[in-house]
Amino acid sequence: MIRKMTIDDLPEIMILERSLFGSPWSEENYRFEILENPYAHYVVEDEQGLRGYLGLWLNEDTLQITTLGVASSHQGKGLGSSLVKYALEYAISNKVLIMTLEVRVSNAKAIHLYEKNGFEKAATRKQYYSHPDEDAILMMKTFEQM
């Protein structure tokens, strides 16, 4: 089940975040996203415990995927795909024209997931990441909304 992320989810989110990312966001980052960022829409995959999460920023006709993670123990079961599908549906229902995201150049699994869902590589952002230092690929998907 995919539902909105709440403040009560933060302890579990922080455990996942620190296990999945070399430069994890802080709890304060998530707190700001949930409580104060008017552009933010954060959801979790919850089935008797948090198994994944997705962050989005909606700014007029542009939607950015800010984060996506699935617990290591539950990867490879389609949860990442269902969270990306949720993002695509959110884009369509909000009449978005373009979706963007950044991903590490070495993250073949995530790149495959995004390409499978119609995202294309648009540009490289040099030295975008730290821990370890790495370039980002900017990926985009455009929509023709009526």
User: Can you tell me whether residue 82 is helix, strand or coil?
Assistant: helix
Q: At what angle do helices 79-93 and 108-116 cross, to 10 degrees?
A: 40
3-state helix, strand, coil in the chain (%, to 5): 35, 40, 30
Least distance between ligand COA and beta carbon 63 (Å): 14
| Closer CB to ligand COA, 2 or 20, in the complex | 20
Nearest approach in angstroms of CB 121 to ligand COA is: 13
Question: Which residues are known to be catalytic?
Answer: 102, 114
Alpha carbon distance, N-terminus to C-terminus of the chain = 29
Q: Which residues contact 26 (CB under 8 A, 6 or more apart)?
A: none
By rule CB under 6 A, what string of x and - marks binding of each residue 62-101 to ligand COA? ------xxx----xxxxxxx--------------------
Choose the stretch contacting ligand COA; rule: CB under 6 A; options: 5-13, 55-63, 85-93, 112-120. 112-120
Tokens standing for 12?
Answer: 């579990």
Contact 52, 76 (CB under 8 A): no
Of residues 28 through 67, those in contact with ligand COA by CB under 6 A are none
Q: How far is the CB of 141 from ligand COA (least distance, A)?
A: 14
Which residues in this chain contact ligand COA in the complex, by CB under 6 A?
Answer: 20, 68-70, 75-81, 103, 107-110, 112-113, 116
